[in-house]
Amino acid sequence: MEKNKNIIFAIVIIILIIAVVIVMSLSGTNKSVIQSPNSEEISEIIQDKSVIIIDVRTAEEYKTGHVEGAINIPFDEVENEVNYDKDQALAVYCRTGVRSSEAAKTLEKMGYMKIYDLGGIEDFNVELTTD
């Protein structure tokens, strides 16, 4: 009788180990769709015409200078105003990186699959325009 209990206990332990291994391997494939590029990559992304650049600062901040070609969708309007194909590459930036990070998370929750969080324009060296 004691032998059967030991066998059952061993089987349960093996099943638990297998379950843990499966869960850990699956979590490794759940890669975030949000990328935080370095300064060199930021320049490349901004020049890539297939990427939609979204400035999530206020309209007033946008008017003081923005990345050429960027569209202004203030952070608090992202969820209601962004309506692109879910496979469209999007890049978001703000002044310091706080709002862009939150906007990127919102876009991910909305189902977008390729999101670049460029951070704050204070941190990257890109020429701004007021056009």
Q: Annotated active-site positions, please?
A: 94
Specify burial of residue 120 (Cβ count, 10 A radius: 0-12, 13-18, 19+): middle
Ordered strands of the 71-72 beta sheet = 34-35, 114-120, 89-94, 52-55, 71-72
